[in-house]
Amino acid sequence: MLGLGRVVSEFEIDIEPVSLNESGASHCIARRRGATYSSDRASQDLQTMDPDESSTEIDEGLYSRQLYVLGYDAMKRMKTSSVLVSGMRGLGVEIAKNIILGGVKQLTVHDEGKAEWNDLSSQFYLTVDDIQKNRAKASEQRLAELNSYVPVSSYTGKLTEHFLQQFQVVVLTDSTLEEQQRIGEFCHNQNIKFIVADTKGLFGQLFCDFGEKFTVIDTNGEEPQTAVITWITKDNPGLVTCMDEAWHGFQTGDYVTFSQVQGMTELNNCTPIEIQVNDPYSFFIGDTSDFSDYEKGGIAMEVKMPQTLMFKSLGEALKEPKYQVSDFGKTNRQGTLHIAFQALHQFVKDYSQLPKPWGKTDADVLVTIANKLSENDPSILNESPLDEELVRKVAYVALGNLSPITAFIGGIAAQEVMKACTGKFMPLHQWMYFDALECLPEENKDFPLFEENFAPVGAGAIGCELMKNFAMIGLGAGEGGSITVTDMDTIERSNLNRQFLFRPGDVTKMKSEIAAAAVRKMNPSLQIIAHQNRVGPETENIYTQDFFENLNGVANALDNVEARRYMDGLCVLYQKPLLESGTLGTKGNFQVIIPHLTESYSSSGDPPEKFIPICTLKNFPNAIEHTLQWARDEFEGLFKQPAENVNKYLEDPSFIDHTMKLQEGQAFEILEGVYKSLDADKPKCWADCVAWARRRWQTQYSNNIRQLLHNFPQDQVMPSGVLFWSGPKRCPHPLEFDPNNVSANS
């Protein structure tokens, strides 16, 4: 049941012939700037390429979205990293695919084995024609097509120490425990980042060893927090109080520095100080008793401090495991799964195969092995008993090969590779175990995936992954089954970095058509229909009641809330399951919506965005967000809303009647704006435009500020004795127009 999920048939793919050298490596067939790389050439390049030279070549058009998350420095570090991925079954190819899209310096894929039938259920770059061919060689060209900036080579020989020395990161999949320990020990001693990834049916395992001194430059990738200060005590420790309009957002252990503090100026531009949070509006900073008296003002700014982590080698970590919890509802399973995976290695060593699917005898043997391992080292289970039933389930499904599980574990493993290369984001430290046992069907219930009719909405980054997984599990690949995907967008060059079904030659073509054609190659039996429609009221004649009644479910892969809510409403109306998902940088969300069982997508929402009062925007801005909102309001008030009203006035004969039904003040404002745009303030020449801009500048940056200071002088004291311009209120200064100031004129 957990074996082959894909219906396969023969179809041809042309593969460029490759030749093996004496070491067993094949020529690399990725082309970069017209050159063909061999693995020998790539090995030489690793030692001769100037890191500064490679780091200057970042294609912003291709990597734009990734740059928003990682930044230039991290991207440059990644472009100097060479990576080895060993094992080209489903998990290995998933990791390799993601690493190539990420943009490392060079990737080598390794496998000594030949493709088998059961590989086809998760290895999306193998076909029936590749059976009995080396997996690494068969996958090489298709992987190389993903990113022309990343040379891809294959290697089919033994993983010797001499060969491993050329890499900064080594990833092992589908390897024996002895091989993992041998290579892991070598990598640990050579300061080569080392990752083990494995999947067995519905179970997954990850291990990371980044050396004894690995520096994390930025643990979370978030923008540094800032807070406006209202008071600082002279004490040991000193207490910093922030304005009470919002939480300061700091955590104990964070580091901060200060600026614009008046009075206690010793804090300005100080070296980063570790803080201890007192409450959401205050924190302690250490001894301030010898500092000057605090007067007013000041901003506390978070400083991202590098953290140095110590990783144990695989041999040590097996005996003293440290787990990263993947599901807080299953925290008691980590120790048992740690032993169960070791027991599987011993089972394969003893019997040269994994336990038979749902074989009770083999399951009993695996339990016996696991019990012996736990008796030898009871500390792994924290003195608690082994969960024998969980070990049995591991045995029952270990031979299974499911694309969604390899996609999940492979995605995390690839992210760990990027962390190893860049030092950005906190790495896995050190073991992670995952299971999806809730996917096991109830007794006497069948799930005819081949006969399902599903509708993914969107063929972008998430949509491509959904369709790949749907194709590999055979969803809609049988008689009566189908997948109907719709996406109104065309492919852009920046999509190629994340949406792996597309190639450079597909730019400007429709996403849904190209994605459908790509997954048909992965599974020729797939019944997939591509639409190019926007989902909304205007397409209700296409996505009718009959259309929805024929569906078994909908999978949203959308990029806006409006479309999500619309599809959610239709699924509620027609009582269809909905899979909802989204990503934001390295974060993601997923929601399963089942009729009559769970709440709908629209039943809950994100917390409301912070409202910025108009008076704060116009008179007392104190944060970057305030200036951005002010600029947006200015733009819409000057160039968007008046133009829209003028167009409505010119095109809609009933515009005035509709406007007069509004409140008197609002109606007058709209009609006055139309009159000024068409007559009173209408520029007649370029000089009029310049004069308008000059008057606007004078009003915003001089006159309004002078009026504000006239009403509230810089030294005004409130009845409470506190200066008016203190706390979040920052005293402005009027500007004098200088025609020779280029920045003012621009």
CATH class given for the domain over 226-303: mainly beta
Return the number of other C-beta atoms located less than 10 Å from residue 542's C-beta. Answer: 11
- Homologous superfamily (CATH) of 448-603 is NAD(P)-binding Rossmann-like Domain (3.40.50.720)
Q: For residue 440, what pLDDT is reported? A: 86
Q: What is the pLDDT of residue 717?
A: 82
Structure token digits, residue 101: 């899209």
d(CA 515, CA 597): 32
- CATH homologous superfamily for 624-745? Ubiquitin-activating enzyme E1, SCCH domain (1.10.10.2660)
Please give the DSSP secondary-structure letter assigned to residue 229.
Answer: E
Q: What is the pLDDT of residue 652?
A: 86
pLDDT of residue 381: 82
Cβ pair 585, 485 in contact under 8 A:
no
Residue reference for tokens 């492919």: 491
User: Residue 171: which H helix or E strand, with range?
Assistant: strand 169-173
Q: Do domains 38-216+312-332+401-433 and 448-603 have the same CATH topology?
A: yes
Residue 16, pLDDT score = 35
Pairing assessment for the beta strands 578-584 and 553-556 based on DSSP bridges: parallel
Give the CATH fold of the 38-216+312-332+401-433 domain: Rossmann fold (3.40.50)
Amino acid at 279: D
- 528-531 and 31-32 strand pairing: unpaired
Please report, as a single letter, which amino acid is at residue 118.
N
- Provide the 10 A C-beta neighbour count for residue 430: 23
Between CA 280 and CA 286 the distance in angstroms is 18
pTM, 2 dp: 0.79
Hey, which residues are catalytic here? 615
Q: Residue 269: how many CA atoms within 13 Å on its side-chain side?
A: 0
Give the alpha-carbon dihedral of 547, 551, 553, 559, to 10 degrees: -30
Residue 597: what pLDDT?
95
Q: What is the pLDDT of residue 420?
A: 97
CA-wise closest residue to 338 among 387, 397, 268, 280: 387
Write the CB contacts of 435 (distance below 8 Å, at least 6 apart in sequence).
202, 203, 204, 327, 330, 333, 337
Residue 606 and residue 566: Cα distance in Å, rounded?
17
For position 43, what pLDDT does the model report? 38
DSSP strand pairing (106-110 vs 82-86): parallel
Domain boundaries, the chain: 38-216+312-332+401-433, 226-303, 448-603, 624-745
Q: Contact at 8 Å (CB) between 724 and 716?
A: yes
Question: Residue holding tokens 């005590």?
Answer: 233
pLDDT on residue 250: 93
Place of tokens 């733009």: 635
Is residue 204 within 8 Å of 405, Cβ to Cβ? yes
Are 419 and 516 in contact by the 8 Å Cβ rule? The answer is no
In angstroms, rounded to a whole number, what is the distance separating the alpha carbons of residues 134 and 144?
16
Residues of the chain with pLDDT under 70: 1-56, 383, 444-445, 607-614, 617, 743-746
Task: Answer yes or no: are the C-beta atoms of 136 and 111 closer than 8 Å.
Answer: yes
